[in-house]
């Protein structure tokens, strides 16, 4: 299945979400178009297909995976213009959603947009991801934030073995997953995006970072070298 065009995008959303959610998303789109005239939140050409390129592209994270998206707090890293984090918060106002961005103008926009939609479930953090205090979230998303290995390096501490990662990655999704080092004990797979047939979404669970395995291997190698002398 794919979503093509603005009418198709709105119909896809209306089939899955109620009128109140659609009203909040309409407020978000209108505010985004206005704010984009002051700061470059998204590319101007993409506003011509904003419902497909940004709204459904974000909302699909709730539906596209064969994994059930768990209830509980959601962390969106590098939120930028608010995708996918603001869209998730608008569609599920009962879910706590934390948006992290290191740019003050972006975080100010995120807070204003959340207030405009009447959302009380949104927490906006102005910070580099590396400086965010340790907490655990049930769902972790990041849209075009960093290469997968770098993303896990800075964000693994926010997850538990039950945390679901939802990572839109574009055309390089499968390549990034295959290139991921063996130090990450994970169960990830790639889902095709509904809004772009060439794009993928990395989905899955990060069980642990295998520091013990790496240390044990190094110690074993050291013992073998020593025994040969």
pLDDT at 211: 53
Average pLDDT, the chain: 91
pLDDT at 39: 94
Domain boundaries, the chain: 6-227
Q: How many Cα atoms within 13 Å fall on the side-chain side of residue 14?
A: 9
- Distance, CA of 95 to CA of 223 (rounded, Å): 51
- Distance, CA of 101 to CA of 71 (rounded, Å): 23
Q: How far apart are the first and last CA of the chain?
A: 63
- Chain segment 166-177, per-residue pLDDT in tens: 999 999 999 999
- Chain segment 10-63, per-residue pLDDT in tens: 999 999 999 999 999 999 999 999 999 999 999 999 999 999 999 999 999 999
pLDDT at 229: 31
- Report yes or no: 168 and 57 within 8 Å, Cβ to Cβ: yes
For domain 6-227, the CATH superfamily is Vaccinia Virus protein VP39 (3.40.50.150)
Q: What share of the chain is helix, strand, coil (3-state, %, to 5)?
A: 45, 20, 35
pLDDT at 181: 86
pLDDT at 48: 96
Confidence of residue 210 (pLDDT cuts 50, 70, 90): low
- Report yes or no: 96 and 74 within 8 Å, Cβ to Cβ: yes
Is residue 221 predicted with pLDDT exceeding 50? Answer: no
Is residue 186 predicted with pLDDT exceeding 50? Answer: yes
**Alpha helices (H) in 101-228, listed in sequence order:** 104-116, 148-155, 173-178, 211-227
- Distance, CA of 110 to CA of 104 (rounded, Å): 10
- Distance, CA of 89 to CA of 50 (rounded, Å): 18
Question: Following CA atoms 12, 95, 189, 81 in sequence, which dihedral angle do they give, to the nearest 10 degrees?
Answer: 70
- Distance, CA of 181 to CA of 86 (rounded, Å): 31
Is residue 137 predicted with pLDDT exceeding 90? Answer: yes
Is residue 136 predicted with pLDDT exceeding 50? Answer: yes
Q: How confident is the model over 100-121, as a mean pLDDT? A: 98
Is residue 227 predicted with pLDDT exceeding 70? Answer: no
């Amino acid at each position: 299945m794919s979503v093509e065009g603005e009418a198709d995008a709105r119909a896809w959303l209306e089939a899955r979400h109620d009128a109140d959610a659609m009203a909040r998303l309409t407020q978000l789109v209108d505010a985004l178009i206005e704010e984009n005239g002051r700061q470059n939140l998204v590319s101007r050409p993409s506003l011509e297909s904003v419902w497909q390129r940004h709204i459904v592209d974000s909302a699909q994270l709730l539906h596209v995976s064969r994994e059930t998206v768990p209830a509980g707090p959601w962390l969106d890293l590098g939120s930028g213009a608010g995708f996918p984090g603001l869209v998730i918060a608008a569609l599920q106002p009962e879910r706590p959603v934390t948006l992290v961005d290191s740019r003050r103008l972006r975080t100010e926009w995120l807070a204003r947009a959340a207030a405009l939609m009447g959302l009380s479930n949104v927490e906006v953090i102005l910070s580099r991801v590396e400086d965010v205090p340790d907490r655990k979230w049930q769902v972790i998303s990041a849209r075009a934030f960093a290469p997968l290995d770098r993303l896990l390096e800075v964000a693994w501490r926010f997850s538990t073995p039950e945390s679901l990662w939802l990572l839109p990655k574009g055309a390089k999704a499968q390549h990034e997953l295959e290139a991921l080092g063996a130090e990450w004990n994970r169960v990830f797979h790639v889902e095709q995006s509904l809004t772009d047939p060439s794009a993928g979404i990395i989905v899955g669970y990060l069980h642990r970072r295998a520091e013990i395995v790496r240390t044990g291997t190094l110690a074993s190698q050291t013992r073998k070298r020593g025994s040969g002398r």
